[in-house]
Amino acid sequence: MRIRLERKLSSCPHHLRCSVCDRMFESGKVRTLLHNDEGFIQGDICPECMKLSVEAIQHNIRERAMLLLEETDDSGGTTFSPQARAMELLDCSTENVKYPQFYHWWLVQLEIFSRTSSAAKNVTATENWNYRERSRKAQERNWRERLRTFFEKDESEK
C-alpha cells in the first residue's frame, strides 16, 4: 500500500470519507489517497489516520473489512458489493504501508501554488490591460482639453 498526495480538484467534494476509519472529514487543498500495490485507489485517508502507525492502519482496515463482510448486499448490482469491497480491503491490509516523502508534499504544494498564481496572473493581466486602456483614454481626453484650452486662450488674445 502506498499513500499518495494529490492536488484536490475543484470537482472533488469538500467532505470525504476515510477508507481506514470510515469517518467523514474535510479535505484541504491536498488529498491523501490510499493506493494498493497494483496502483488502484482504495480511498482517501483522514489526517487522524495519517498519524497512525503502519500496524494500526492495517488493523483498522481489517476491522473495516470484517464489518463490510457482515453487511447485506442491497446495491442491486450497480456498484461494488460490500463483500467485494471487503475483499479488496483485506488484500490491502496485508501490504506494507509506504508513506509519502516530505518532498512529495512540497511538490504538490508547488503545483497548487503554480496553478493559483497562473490564475491570478491571468486576472492581473486582464486588470492591467483594462487599467492601461482607461489610462490611455484619460490621457487622450487630458490632451484634448489642454489643446482646447490653449486654442481658446489664443483666440481670446486676438
Q: Give the count of alpha carbons within 13 A of 84, CB side only.
A: 8
Per the listing, cell 477508507 goes with 19
Question: Do 52 and 65 lie in a common domain?
Answer: yes
Estimate to the nearest angstrom the gap between the alpha carbon of 7 and the chain centroid: 4
pLDDT digits (tens, 9 = 90+) for 14-26: 899 998 998 999 9
Q: Comparing 63 with 142, which gets the higher pLDDT? A: 63
Coil, strand or helix at 44: strand
User: Total domain count for the chain?
Assistant: 2
pLDDT digits (tens, 9 = 90+) for 93-145: 888 888 887 777 777 878 877 776 665 555 555 566 566 666 666 667 666 67
Question: Do 95 and 135 lie in a common domain?
Answer: no
Q: Which domain holds residue 32?
A: 2-100
Sign of torsion over alpha carbons 149, 151, 153, 156:
negative
- Any residues with CB less than 8 A from the CB of 148 and at least 6 apart, and which? none
Question: Do 122 and 96 lie in a common domain?
Answer: no
Question: Do 11 and 80 lie in a common domain?
Answer: yes
Question: Do 8 and 71 lie in a common domain?
Answer: yes
Which pTM value belongs to this model?
A: 0.59
| Longest distance between any two alpha carbons in the chain, whole Å | 105
Question: Do 19 and 73 lie in a common domain?
Answer: yes
